[in-house]
Amino acid sequence: MRGTRVAGVFAWEAFDSRGRPTVGCRVRLAGGAQGRAIVPSGASTGSHEAVELRDRDDRFGGFGVSNAVRNLNDVLAPAVVGMDAVDRAGVDAVMEELDGTAGLGRLGANSVLALSVAVTVAGANGLGRPLWQVLDSGEEPLLPLPMVNVVSGGAHAGRALDIQDVLAVPVGAGSFAQSMEWAWRARAGSAELLDAAGGNSALVADEGGLAGGLATNEAALALVTEGISRAGLVPGEQVALAIDVAANQIFDGTTYQLRSEGRALPSDGWLLELAGWCERYPVVSLEDVLAEDDWAGWRDAGILMDGGRQLVGDDLFATQLDRLRRGIADDVANAVLVKPNQAGTITRAEDVLRAAQGAGYATIVSARSGDTEDSWLADLAVGWRAGQIKVGSTTRSERTAKWNRLLEIEATAGSRAQFAGSDALTNRRPGLPTRRLDQTP
């Protein structure tokens, strides 16, 4: 289509939500439509992710991205001008070939992703259709079950806790809007309890979660469980818990270090610790429970899936197709976190998500700790019918931008909208059973 051909590309150095430089990109189509993207960046990053290009000079403490921006403007842009933005897979393939490395580190995965997303958004705008619908081609959007950050530690909160996040999962909600209201109530109840115990709910982490004021890791689970009850909701029935361990951050090569508690546990002892938490609290999902290359340990971690519990690979899979295929072959985990910037292009991320769904793995589209005001991630979660999304807390505008976009999609679709609900956790097959919004949970 002539009107959807790329007519111009421009990139610049922008900021993410942590105040670090990142790559912004704008794509203009021949018909006048545009697409814009400012890409995210993680703090708790795995070694198998696509490779960001940083300047490593005196600017911004070495975190500048002027070289990545230059590569986008001078190398990538001329190669895609004239291509049809609707053929986003073709555009991504050209950029991969230009880079020539598996991790896209020569030109920078941050520059490649910025153009990949901007082209995808521009293509949808050129067709005059919502991005989610271009990805799904359906008339009934499937809204994902949200995981909402309540308490943070690890790399997201200055190591206030060893584990990275405790999240609220509104498993009993009947719509996305209701799920967000319940998650808001759970966070508010937890904040009130934290303040009453001498903490400070005004202190928040990278993703808007409560940070500080807790003596142990388990205390975070207790706080959120009690916060759910304080909010007038039933723990486990209406709102359950998810844990993001981010075990790479606590593994010293031999043991798992709970430095805030002065303890060190071997792999089997750490798994038993987690199993105990699952017995005492309404945990439905655990993420990155062991280090990224501890494949043998991850097979042992299957004990944590008892009762239909979700065992999620983030750093383990790093949104890389070869690592996911190994996990499938070895029967490791049963869910995968999908982060576009781990993959480097929208096409690569979608390939991982489709392979996971085809193998019966649950899929969770995820933001990063250093995210931006963009909302395209929400459309990806709906358009890919991922079933779940993990964005952060109910505070900070880079988080609420995604929640607000999902609320808009649901409200616009009205009775045609579907909500994945708790089925996203328990039914790991493509075409999730869903409830319509006029049905009660």
Q: CB within 8 A of 168, min separation 6: which ones?
A: 147, 148, 150, 182, 183, 186, 187, 224, 228, 239, 240, 241, 242
67 and 147 housed in the same domain: no
182 and 74 housed in the same domain: no
Residue 135 in any domain: the answer is no
DSSP letter at 144 equals: P
104 and 190 housed in the same domain: no
pLDDT at residue 1, rounded to an integer = 66
* 350 has pLDDT over 80: yes
DSSP string, 229-280: HHTT--BTTTBEEEEE--GGGTB-SSSEEETTTTEEE-HHHHHHHHHHHHHH
DSSP string, 272-310: HHHHHHHHHS-EEEEE--S-TT-HHHHHHGGGGGGGG-E
Give the H or E element holding residue 178: helix 176-196
Which candidate in 49, 52, 96, 207 is catalytic? Answer: 207
pLDDT at residue 47, rounded to an integer = 84
Q: Are 239 and 425 in contact (CB under 8 A)?
A: no
CA dist 317 → 39, 295, 360, 414 (Å): 20, 11, 15, 36
82 and 155 housed in the same domain: no
Residue 133 in any domain: the answer is no
Question: Domain with 211 in it: what CATH number?
Answer: 3.20.20.120
Residue 400 belongs to domain spanning: 142-436
pTM of the entire predicted model: 0.94
pLDDT at residue 157, rounded to an integer = 55
426 and 360 housed in the same domain: yes
DSSP letter at 53 equals: -
For residues 194-198, give the mean pLDDT: 93
Which runs of consecutive H residues, i.e. helices, occur in 308-427?
321-330, 340-343, 346-358, 376-383, 397-413, 423-426
350 and 259 housed in the same domain: yes
Residue 441 in any domain: the answer is no
Average pLDDT, the chain: 93
What type of residue is 329? A
pLDDT at residue 153, rounded to an integer = 85
CA–CA separation, 286 and 273 (whole Å): 13
What type of residue is 263? R
Give the distance from CA 216 to its chain's centroid: 26
157 and 184 housed in the same domain: yes
Question: Domain with 23 in it: what CATH number?
Answer: 3.30.390.10
Residue 140 appears among annotated catalytic residues? no
Q: Are 309 and 171 in contact (CB under 8 A)?
A: no
For residues 206-219, give the mean pLDDT: 89
Q: What 3-state class would DSSP assign to 336? A: strand
Longest distance between any two alpha carbons in the chain, whole Å: 64
Among residues 128, 162, 182, the one where a domain terminates is 128
Of 51-55, 125-129, 298-302, minimum mean pLDDT range: 298-302
Residue 136 in any domain: the answer is no
Q: Are 227 and 187 in contact (CB under 8 A)?
A: yes
DSSP letter at 214 equals: -
Predicted confidence (pLDDT) per residue in 413-431, tens digit: 999 999 999 999 964 533 4
Predicted confidence (pLDDT) per residue in 47-94, tens digit: 899 999 999 999 999 999 999 999 999 999 999 999 999 999 999 999
Of 58-67, 141-150, 228-237, 302-311, minimum mean pLDDT range: 302-311
What type of residue is 34? Q
341 and 248 housed in the same domain: yes
- Give the angle 321-49-341 at the CA atoms, nearest 5°: 90
CA–CA separation, 284 and 164 (whole Å): 16
- Give the angle 165-64-344 at the CA atoms, nearest 5°: 60
Among 344, 342, 347, which Cα is nearest to 87's? 347
Structure tokens at 214: 């807790």
User: Beta 21-29 vs 6-15: how paired, if at all?
Assistant: antiparallel
pLDDT at residue 159, rounded to an integer = 63
* Higher-scoring residue by pLDDT: 303, 398: 398
Share of the chain above pLDDT 90, in %: 86
348 and 417 housed in the same domain: yes
CA–CA separation, 370 and 206 (whole Å): 7
The burial class, CB within 10 Å (0-12 / 13-18 / 19+), for 58 is exposed
For residues 19-34, give the mean pLDDT: 97
48 and 118 housed in the same domain: yes
Q: Are 123 and 86 in contact (CB under 8 A)?
A: yes
Residue 322 in any domain: the answer is yes
Residue 10 in any domain: the answer is yes
CA–CA separation, 12 and 65 (whole Å): 9
142 HSE (CA, 13 A, CB side): 26
Which candidate in 339, 350, 390, 398 is catalytic? Answer: 339
Predicted confidence (pLDDT) per residue in 159-191, tens digit: 679 999 999 999 999 999 999 999 999 999 999
Q: CB within 8 A of 246, min separation 6: which ones?
A: 44, 154, 155, 163, 164, 165, 287, 288, 314, 315
237 and 377 housed in the same domain: yes
Give the distance from CA 305 to its chain's centroid: 21
The number of domains in the chain is 2
Residue 373 appears among annotated catalytic residues? no
324 and 381 housed in the same domain: yes
